[in-house]
Structure 1
Amino acid sequence: MDWLHDLFKTSPEIALFLSLGIGYYIGKIKFGKFQLGGVAGSLLAAVVISQVGVHIDPGVKAVLFALFIYAVGYESGPQFFNSLGKQSVKEIILAAVLALTGLATVVIMARLFGLDKGLAAGVAAGGLTQSAIIGTAGDAIAKLGLAADEVKRLQGNVAIGYAVTYVFGSFGAIIVCVNILPRLMGRSIREDAIKAEVAMQSGVKVLAPGQEAAVSELIGRLYEIVRGGNTVNDIETLDPATTVTIEKVKRAGRIIPVNPELVLQPLDIVLVVGRHDAMLSISKLMGKEVYAVEGMELTMQHRDMVLTNKQFHNKTVSAIRTETANGVRHGIFVTQISRMGQVLPMLPETVVQLGDVISIYGAEQDVKRVADSVGYVLIPSAKTDFVYLGAGLVVGLLVGLLTAKIGSIPLTLGSGGGALLSGLLFGWYRSKHQSFGEMPNPAVQILKDLGLAGFVVVVGLSSGLQAVETIKQQGFTIFGVGIVVTILPMILTMLIGRYILRYDNTAIFAGALSGSRSANPAFGEVLGKAENAIPTVPFAITYALANVFLTLLGPLIVALV
């Protein structure tokens, strides 16, 4: 194997990418419904490859982790700050309770079984399936002022603890959320998911990714006028509670200009666009429906606009509709209003604010016209604003260098905590000011995936030889501790959620509980049992909080063990 050792010595990046490729292949293999996942698979692959002897520059690890943790904060920022309100008090408390009980469990078990700082942090990362703890704990260990060899040993133990406990960490969360929780509640996830879906029909209809309504809310129809005499304005204002728009009129083979005073005549072909209920109310008045008339084609657009017009700030949807002239509203349909990533109910009493994203549907000329009155159109882009990304990382890393002392004990966020805090703030600010700072979701995802998996691979390659020896000595002990760390905090949090926070809907509770543990596999099972998207909203809130709370456990465990 000397040739392989020489190859990795000459080009260590080959070992890094080989570990990633093999690791993600292993991570895709299914054991029943369970998959190891790319991060854990990459760690195992790196440990095996490290037995040949590989050296990776520590600077690579620092860069990869900074990218990962900043992306986590950037993605979670809007939801994190948006969730800090009265409407989500239960979710905030639930996520905090799980983080605190998880911290207490890890510290107590580490002291009972004599685990060092590295193994304790690794057990937390794997048992709580929060991979980011590997980085924040490793960063904290590096700042303890220990000898280089001891730092390397402890950081290697973080990876060992994670690898041994991660599998049951994922599986245990599924058991609690899908099997134990419904028994405690006395009702199935599906039963309560249906109940919650019925209750929310008057508000926001929550659709999961890939879902869409079977009956479209907005439709277009071609009619041949049978009885004339009505003006365009008569048709468009027939029912003040609903909206239709006449977009095109064809008369005697020619397309003619449309204006409110235009009188419709028999045999006119009219293109009408509107909401489904409004279309039903005017269909008898219009005449007979026809199809595929030449020249009557029209391309409609879905566009998102950011509200910047102070005239509409803190006004209800009903008031805006009443105060806006027909000429401005013509041809425009509002399909959704969202605030910092949270969809608002489309009700007359819903209040809009500056910075809200208004999703509209209409013809190109109508969209351009209304944009001047509302704010600016968000243009989808696949490019990342590296000025904003670079500024965010620099600010975070600078904050991480700051140190405060309580007595003789130095306290610091470190590069990981600083980058996380900066990501939260920059992500939140971007959600309020969306004309700059673009970082598309796929770009965020690649930073998270490559950053974390690459970081874990570097740890595995650097500490793999030592890892094998430690597993031989303490493997079963670590695994047993991991089971307790996985199950006990979730059971305690579940009981507090049920009897103190008074969660009374199984589907909503299961979504919130799985999110508070950032347990994606468990949430997938919950969603499958629900057969609708009801658990999604509570999961999104607690998941965003858990990404912050659990990630910060790394330095705390290092300090307390």
Structure 2
Amino acid sequence: MEWLHNLFGRSPEMAIFLSLAVGYAIGKIKFGKFQLGGVAGSLLVAVLVSQVGVHVDGGIKAVLFALFIFAVGFESGPQFFSSLGRQSIKEIVLAAVMALTGLVTVVVMAKLFALDKGLAAGVAAGGLTQSAIIGTAGDAIAKLGLGAEETARLQGNVAVGYAVTYVFGSFGAILVCVNILPRLMGRSIRDDAIAAEAAMQAGVHVLGPDQEAAAPSLVGRIYEMTDDPQRSVAEIENADPTTTITIERIKRDGKLIDPSPELVLHRNDIVLVVGRREAVIANAPLFGREVFAVEDMELTMFKREVVLTNRNFHQKTVANIREATLGGVRHGVFVVQLSRMGVALPLQPQTVIHIGDVVSIYGAEQDVKRVAATIGDTIVSSAKTDFVYLGAGIVAGLLIGMLSVKLANIPLTLGAGGGALLAGLLFGWYRAKKQTIGEIPGGAVQLLKDLGLAGFVVVVGLQSGLQAVETVRQLGLTIFGVGVVVTIVPMVLTMLFGRYVLRYSNTAIFAGALSGSRSANPAFGEVLDKASNTIPTVPFAITYALANVFLTLLGPLIVALV
């Protein structure tokens, strides 16, 4: 394997992408109902590749993880802040239970297998995938008053225990969250994610990507007038204020004429009527015979999303706004959707509109432009990422992660991951309020999540795999086995507590909370992949932030109790 070692020495990035390619290929293979998934597959392949000797700079891991966790927060910021409150108590309790069961499991296993303080703390750091325990445990060992040689030995054992157990710590969390949890709940992550998303939309049906309604709510029909109604365009359009139709084009004697409000319709006129389906159907007898493919009668319609900035509409109901804009202001324009912080609102007369809501309007180009200027700022869709916003967000997150406070001489910090997640949540929330800035297309966010997480896991495997295997060879499987127990037992106990005591009923939400309570980023990535939406992110963000504090505190506690 010398040639592979030399090859990866010249191009370590090749080892990363090889692990990704082969890992995702393996992750697609199904063993009955069990499937590894791309992240777990990439981790295993990276461990194998690491055996030939690969050096990957640790900075790559930090960059990839920052991109992943910021993108997760950015996508879920609006829902996160709206979900905070009394409903978050379950996540707080779940994170506390995970930390407590983790502590008890580590202490019991250390007593059973006569592990010293260093190995016990290292097993906790790796088995619970909380690297900060290395620092807090090492600091606690230094304060025990032992000789320099013994202190160095114990601190070295922390790193040994971490190296042996970290790989399965990541892999085991994936197994529990993605494979065991859905079986306990009796429902898949995907099905419950869809159900939760539908509930979030308050019954509003929102079409997904590449979906179209078979019977759209807005339609256009061409009619040939079979009677002489002797009514003007305005009289017909405003006959029933509860239903809206507009006459967009009129053809008389083979020529197009301006559909001005005062124009009176005659027999044999050909008219293009646009409106909501029920209104067009109700008024069809008034127009006469429907015709098709009439030259010059087709009209291209436009849809635009506009952020409401006009304070005249703030805290007004839909009915109030319809009444105030009846006639020329909104003529020819239809509101097809309202949304607030990414959540669709029902288009009901009693729905109250706020500044910052997004209004989706539909109509002819000149009408849409006129109404959009009245409402607020048009959102210009772009395939380009606003790197000013993205870069500023990640920098802010990394700065937040550097902040540290001491609790009984124990330094507590969010770390780079927690800081980037918090910044992502804040920047995503602000982007939802001010959608004219900070454009990061959905495809770009997905790429940041997928590549960031998978690449991070691969680098972990390449850096830790060789040392972990070598340590297992030297010390036997005892430390590895203890790490397996420390990984699985607290997660299973916490899972059972969440299911039967906290009464979690949605698999996707529970999986997000459980992975966050263990700060298990690879597991969370697989949960997100299974869910195919952002539903698991909000509970993950809450428990992840708490886990960074609770699990970090385990370092000195283990040193004191073992």
State the TM bucket, normalised to the shorter chain: 0.7 to 0.9
- 1:30 positional shift: 1.8
Letter matched to residue 457 of structure 2: V
**Shift in CA distance, 200/144, structure 1 to aligned 2, threshold 3 Å:** closer
> Residue 533 of structure 1 aligns with which residue?
none
Letter matched to residue 101 of structure 1: V
- 1:96 positional shift: 3.3
Query: CA-to-partner distance for each residue in 1:291-322, whole Å, 9 max, x for gaps?
Result: 11110111112221111111111111111111
**Shift in CA distance, 39/330, structure 1 to aligned 2, threshold 3 Å:** same
> Secondary structure of the equivalent of 2:186?
helix
> Secondary structure of the equivalent of 2:406?
strand
The answer to whether 1:318 aligns with 2:322 is no
CA–CA separation in structure 2 for the residues paired with 1:27 and 1:282: 57
420-429 or 206-215, which deviates more: 206-215
> Secondary structure of the equivalent of 1:550?
helix
Letter matched to residue 298 of structure 2: E
**TM-score relative to the length of structure 2:** 0.83
Structure 1 gap ranges (5+): 125-133, 182-187, 528-535
Q: 2:94 aligns with which of 98, 106, 112?
A: 98
**Shift in CA distance, 545/367, structure 1 to aligned 2, threshold 3 Å:** same
> Residue 59 of structure 1 aligns with which residue?
59
CA–CA separation in structure 2 for the residues paired with 1:104 and 1:202: 37
CA–CA separation in structure 2 for the residues paired with 1:489 and 1:436: 41
Q: 1:172 aligns with which of 173, 180, 199?
A: 180
Q: Is the 8 A contact 1:304 1:360 kept in 2?
A: yes
Matches within 5 A, 1:106-145: 106-114=102-110, 116-120=120-124, 122-124=126-128, 134=129, 137-138=130-131, 141=134
Q: Is the 8 A contact 2:182 2:507 kept in 1?
A: no
Query: CA-to-partner distance for each residue in 1:258-288, whole Å, 9 max, x for gaps?
Result: 1111111111111111111111210111101
Max Rg structure: 2
Letter matched to residue 20 of structure 2: L
CA–CA separation in structure 2 for the residues paired with 1:108 and 1:200: 38
> Residue 510 of structure 2 aligns with which residue?
513
* Cα RMSD, aligned residues only: 3.3
- 1:455 positional shift: 1.5
> Residue 550 of structure 2 aligns with which residue?
556
Q: 1:158 aligns with which of 166, 190, 200?
A: 166
26-35 or 425-434, which deviates more: 26-35
> Residue 83 of structure 2 aligns with which residue?
83
CA–CA separation in structure 2 for the residues paired with 1:208 and 1:110: 45
**TM-score relative to the length of structure 1:** 0.83
Q: Is the 8 A contact 1:118 1:158 kept in 2?
A: no
145-154 or 461-470, which deviates more: 145-154
CA–CA separation in structure 2 for the residues paired with 1:391 and 1:520: 24
Q: Is the 8 A contact 2:91 2:542 kept in 1?
A: no
Letter matched to residue 224 of structure 1: E
CA–CA separation in structure 2 for the residues paired with 1:8 and 1:200: 48
CA–CA separation in structure 1 for the residues paired with 2:58 and 2:386: 27
Query: CA-to-partner distance for each residue in 1:9-32, whole Å, 9 max, x for gaps?
Result: 222111111111111111121223
> Secondary structure of the equivalent of 1:425?
helix
CA–CA separation in structure 2 for the residues paired with 1:457 and 1:520: 13
CA–CA separation in structure 1 for the residues paired with 2:157 and 2:223: 80
> Residue 484 of structure 1 aligns with which residue?
489
Structure 2 gap ranges (5+): 111-118, 140-151, 516-523, 556-562
CA–CA separation in structure 2 for the residues paired with 1:297 and 1:479: 67
Q: Is the 8 A contact 1:231 1:261 kept in 2?
A: yes
Letter matched to residue 65 of structure 1: F
Letter matched to residue 538 of structure 2: A
> Secondary structure of the equivalent of 1:23?
helix
**Shift in CA distance, 209/556, structure 1 to aligned 2, threshold 3 Å:** farther
Q: Is the 8 A contact 1:119 1:160 kept in 2?
A: no
Letter matched to residue 31 of structure 1: F
**Shift in CA distance, 347/141, structure 1 to aligned 2, threshold 3 Å:** farther
Letter matched to residue 420 of structure 1: L
Q: Is the 8 A contact 2:201 2:344 kept in 1?
A: no
Q: Is the 8 A contact 1:98 1:517 kept in 2?
A: yes
CA–CA separation in structure 1 for the residues paired with 2:371 and 2:536: 37
> Residue 349 of structure 2 aligns with which residue?
348
**Shift in CA distance, 164/305, structure 1 to aligned 2, threshold 3 Å:** same
**Shift in CA distance, 113/348, structure 1 to aligned 2, threshold 3 Å:** same
> Residue 285 of structure 1 aligns with which residue?
286
* Pairs aligned (count): 518
Q: Is the 8 A contact 2:136 2:411 kept in 1?
A: no
Matches within 5 A, 1:395-434: 395-434=396-435
- 1:34 positional shift: 3.2
Letter matched to residue 490 of structure 2: V
170-179 or 295-304, which deviates more: 170-179
> Residue 338 of structure 2 aligns with which residue?
337
Query: CA-to-partner distance for each residue in 1:105-154, whole Å, 9 max, x for gaps?
Result: 33322222238445445544xxxxxxxxx5xx336646766789667545
> Residue 241 of structure 1 aligns with which residue?
242
**Shift in CA distance, 418/98, structure 1 to aligned 2, threshold 3 Å:** same
Letter matched to residue 547 of structure 1: A
**Matched-pair identity in %:** 52
